[in-house]
């Protein structure tokens, strides 16, 4: 699975390509995503192209959160309303920080980065 990436002042912005993040693509997504996180601490995940996600896709996003735990932060943005509902139903809306757009996600990550004293 392809994941586009951009760096904005030390914030890594990742964009999975494709409208579905279900069982058939979740493992490929995880395998593409986790290496990106090895060298990054402050990550914004753009889900604007993802219109469908199931529990396998949620698991891959949770794996990203766990990979950054204790050393950085993950913010989501561009989350489709159906996926927001899935986060709410599973209680993950209390675990993930979801922003309205890229600018908000990057702004929040910059603030967290400054608070942590990270360069």
CA-nearest of 3, 34, 28, 15 to 78 is 15
E-strand stretches of the chain: 3-8, 11-16, 20-21, 42-46, 52-53, 73-77, 97-99
CA 41 remoteness from chain centre:
12
pLDDT over threshold 90, residue 107: yes
The predicted model gives 6-21 an average pLDDT of: 94
CA-nearest of 101, 99, 47 to 73 is 99
Domain of 64 in residue numbering reads as 3-116
Residue in the block written with tokens 């990106």: 36
Q: What CATH number does the domain containing 108 carry?
A: 3.30.750.24
Q: How many domains would you assign to the chain?
A: 1
pLDDT over threshold 60, residue 6: yes
Which band of pLDDT confidence, cut at 50, 70 and 90, is reported for residue 84? very high
- What pLDDT, in 10s, does the model give residues 48-60? 999 999 999 999 9
Q: Using CA atoms, how far apart are residues 32 and 30, in angstroms rounded to an integer?
A: 5
């Amino acid at each position: 699975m392809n994941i586009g990436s951009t760096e904005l002042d030390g914030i890594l912005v990742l964009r999975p390509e494709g409208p579905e993040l279900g069982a058939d693509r979740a493992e490929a997504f995880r395998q593409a995503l986790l290496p990106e996180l090895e060298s990054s601490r402050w990550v914004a995940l753009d889900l604007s192209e993802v219109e469908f996600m199931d529990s396998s896709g949620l698991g891959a996003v949770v794996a990203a959160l766990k990979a950054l735990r204790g050393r950085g932060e993950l913010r989501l943005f561009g989350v489709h309303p159906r996926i927001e509902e899935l986060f709410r139903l599973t209680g993950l809306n209390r675990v993930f920080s979801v922003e309205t757009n890229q600018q908000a996600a990057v702004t929040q990550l910059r603030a967290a980065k400054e608070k942590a004293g990270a360069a």
